Structure 1
Amino acid sequence: MRILIVEDEIHLAEALTQILKKQNYSVDAVHDGQTGLDNARSGIYDLLLLDIMLPEMDGITVLKTIRTEGIHTPVILLTARGEISDKITGLDYGADDYVAKPFSTEELLARIRAALRRKGEVVPEDTLKFGDIELNTAGLKLICKEKELKLILKESELLELLITRKSAVTPKELIIEKLWGFDSEAEYNNVEVYVSFLRKKLAFLKSTVRITTIRSVGYVLEVTE
């Protein structure tokens, strides 16, 4: 899961980034509304944490713009306590929820999980299954036939993406955007390295699941006999 934080309080943005990374989310943070809008338009994010009071462009305008453009990414507004009118306006323009500052870590994480569930996403605490394997995204564990291996974060994110797309081919470009970000300098060989790591771990577990290469396109998960 990839989350975009749009927050001009640098220390708060950094703290939120660390909190979410500890929960195994991938996180990008920007500090003004215009950059937030540009990033939101990329389509790679599963959720936006959007402050209302921002330089360049306020959060309500960002929200209104992405909803007008047909972008349905869940948005949780970060508001100052007491800004009732802004909360109502934000909800009217399509925000999924709001959290008033100061807020507790537990409350924020619960609201993120709820917003992702409403969208139909699999939140990190869940276990994803495909063929004879289970992926525990919270614990970064790959399980097969009562054996388990520890994954690193990028391996878990890659396998999660492949499982959630099921039989659809996942292009290398999409993998780079989801795992590293749309403005990343990561290249195809970065993807190939992590695909190789996962293949070796699936083979070690003697799983029937295979990562099949679709030449010049990307990868798809399959179950062999």
Structure 2
Amino acid sequence: MKVTDDGARRQAGESRELHIVVIEDEPTIAESLRVGLTDEGMQVSVACDGNSGWHIVKEQGADLVILDLMLPDIDGMVICRRLRTLSSTLPIIMLTARGEVQERVQGLQQGADDYIVKPFSFDELLARVHAVLRRAGLSQQPTVLRVAGLVLNIETRDVTFHGRPLELTPTEFALLELFMRYPRRVFTRETLLSRVWGFTYAGDSNIVEVHMSNLREKIGDHERKLIRTIYGVGYCLRPDATMVA
């Protein structure tokens, strides 16, 4: 296996793009993961079957593998065992449409570090990715975000605005975290639905407006200065907004 000496790299302070290998045969999910993880500053390789994914990891190395359980050629459990023969420390996250407890246990017993059941939101997947990378000593993600008087702690799930605690729902937290990670970036309604509600969400798209309204209310952004609506496009957070708690 072609591997990088991550311990030496960290000691030397060297920084590089993390290489994530996605082994997933559903094109929509695979492409969404490729785009989303690339936007996070990662290098992403995608394979639509187990053999291709195995060879990518073996020949190019990987910092983390996202592995679908049900593949067209080889069962994901088998691929997981093979990956473990290459490296005992390679982070592996399994994806599956089957959510039975016994299957989750079996996946972990085969060497997976985490297990996520479809359908899932991109932000849920991203949180799992960073948690596994942190345990492996590879995550470069900050645990505390600070923008325009807002302070969001990813690990404790605490949020304050100019020192005032905010009580956010999990969805509101996910939305705010996304905006705070990328100030001034405009997110379309479709992107928010995919990243927060899930790749296969088919419900009412007005749910975005409802949660955005609730989030603004809790922040005190009644005039929509902090989280702007870009009409016909989407939403963005403007860190230069003049607001008080």
Q: Same fold (TM over 0.5)?
A: yes
Amino acid at match of 2:213: S
Instruction: Please show how residues 115-154 of structure 1 align to structure 2 within 5 Å.
Output: 118=138, 120-122=140-142, 126-154=143-171
Q: Which residue of 2 aligns with 1:102?
A: 109
Name the SS for the 1:134 alignment partner. Answer: strand
2:188 maps to which of 171, 185, 188? 171
Instruction: Please show how residues 43-62 of structure 1 align to structure 2 within 5 Å.
Output: 43=33, 59-62=50-53
Amino acid at match of 1:34: D
Q: Does structure 2 retain, via aligned residues, the 8 Å contact 1:133–1:209?
A: no
* Cα distance change on mapping 1:60 and 1:220 into 2, 3 Å: same
Name the SS for the 2:206 alignment partner. Answer: helix
Name the SS for the 1:167 alignment partner. Answer: coil
Note the C-alpha offset of 1:189: 1.0
Note the C-alpha offset of 1:163: 1.0
Of 38-47 and 215-224, deviating more is 38-47
Structure 2 residue 132 is matched with structure 1 residue 112: yes
Q: Which residue of 2 aligns with 1:42?
A: 32
Amino acid at match of 2:52: T
d(CA) in 1 for partners of 2:226 and 2:136?
Answer: 28
* Residues 99-149 of structure 1 deviation map (CA, whole Å, 9 limit, x = unaligned): 8942899x7579613389746445xxx221111111123343320222102
* Residues 161-209 of structure 1 deviation map (CA, whole Å, 9 limit, x = unaligned): 11111111111111000011122113431111111111111118x9x97
Q: Which residue of 1 aligns with 2:233?
A: 217
- TM-score normalised by the chain length of structure 1: 0.56
Amino acid at match of 1:212: R
Note the C-alpha offset of 1:60: 4.5
d(CA) in 1 for partners of 2:136 and 2:180?
Answer: 17
Question: Greater strand share, 1 or 2?
Answer: 1
Name the SS for the 2:159 alignment partner. Answer: strand
Structure 2 residue 180 is matched with structure 1 residue 189: no
Structure 2 residue 197 is matched with structure 1 residue 180: yes
Q: Does structure 2 retain, via aligned residues, the 8 Å contact 1:60–1:90?
A: no
d(CA) in 2 for partners of 1:164 and 1:61?
Answer: 33
Name the SS for the 1:150 alignment partner. Answer: coil
- TM-score normalised by the chain length of structure 2: 0.52
* Residues 140-160 of structure 1 deviation map (CA, whole Å, 9 limit, x = unaligned): 332022210221100000011
Q: Does structure 2 retain, via aligned residues, the 8 Å contact 1:170–1:220?
A: yes
* Cα distance change on mapping 1:138 and 1:170 into 2, 3 Å: same
Name the SS for the 1:166 alignment partner. Answer: coil
Amino acid at match of 2:194: E
Name the SS for the 2:166 alignment partner. Answer: strand
Amino acid at match of 2:25: Q
* Cα distance change on mapping 1:87 and 1:171 into 2, 3 Å: same
The CA RMSD over aligned residues, in Å, is 4.4
Name the SS for the 1:220 alignment partner. Answer: strand
Amino acid at match of 1:200: E
For structure 1, the 5+ residue unaligned runs are: 1-31, 48-56, 67-71
* Cα distance change on mapping 1:157 and 1:101 into 2, 3 Å: closer
Note the C-alpha offset of 1:98: 4.3
Q: Which residue of 2 aligns with 1:75?
A: 65
